[in-house]
Amino acid sequence: MKISNVIKTVFFSSAILLASCNSTQKTAKVDAMVKADMKDDGMMNKMDKMSVMVGGAAMYPSKNIIENAVNSKDHTTLVAAVKAADLVETLQSEGPFTVFAPTNAAFAKLPAGTVETLLKPENKKQLQTILTYHVLSGNYSATDIVAAIGKGNGKATFKTVSGGTLTAMLNGKNVVIKDENGGTSTVTIADVNQSNGVIHVVDTVVLPKA
């Protein structure tokens, strides 16, 4: 065999071997990515098994605040208000947020006609202020809130997304939040974890100072 043919054969064999190695490496990378995705899916499945029931529906930790809230039959008024205030996109974002979520019964405690008035387009800014007054920037579990209350000798003040403040305290084992007008609301279901924060269901709408 001529030397030139030998060189060609060696070069061709090396190219095949290199291509094979690259293919193997790519396959290994793909396999690793698939396994990672499967692992993440497994973690999500485990998290979702720890879902909390709210309004007759499971609240899945793998879903965001809006995705879960729309399934709660106890929060249809809140969802309608969030839509009217154009806050859906905000509460679907990465966050994290802590939301004190009033039930339908909580909204029903407001003076007759209040909800209907707030849902009108001309009152959107006021509605936004009230709704964001129920939201904290950050993820505050019940344990975090109780710890802050302990450090504050029985009271803890939190700044809301609206710019106002809420004061948290304990009434027995229940966390109670007080608004700037002295009104109080009790957390009835705590630590409803979301992919972008946490929800604490409350029994009364809190209102910022006018």
Are 31 and 96 found together in one domain?
no
> How many CA atoms lie within 13 Å of 23's alpha carbon, on the beta-carbon side?
6
Total domains present in the chain: 2
Q: What is the CATH number of the domain that holds 123?
A: 2.30.180.10
Are 26 and 69 found together in one domain?
no
- Residue span of the structural domain in which 186 resides: 55-202
Other Cβ atoms closer than 10 A to 75: 25
Give me the pLDDT at residue 45, please: 54
Give me the pLDDT at residue 34, please: 41
Angle value at C-alpha 91, between 88 and 94, nearest 5 degrees:
130
Three-state DSSP class for residue 198: strand
Helices (H), 49-75: 65-69
Residue 121 buriedness (CB in 10 A; 0-12 / 13-18 / 19+):
exposed
- 197 part of a folded domain: yes
Q: How far apart are CA 168 and CA 103, in angstroms?
A: 19
Are 72 and 124 found together in one domain?
yes
Cα four-point dihedral sign 102, 92, 57, 50: negative
Are 37 and 69 found together in one domain?
no
Are 70 and 32 found together in one domain?
no
Q: What is the mean pLDDT of each run of 10 residues along the chain (210 residues)?
A: 42 40 45 48 52 88 94 95 96 95 97 95 97 97 97 97 97 96 97 95 95
- 68 part of a folded domain: yes
- 210 part of a folded domain: no
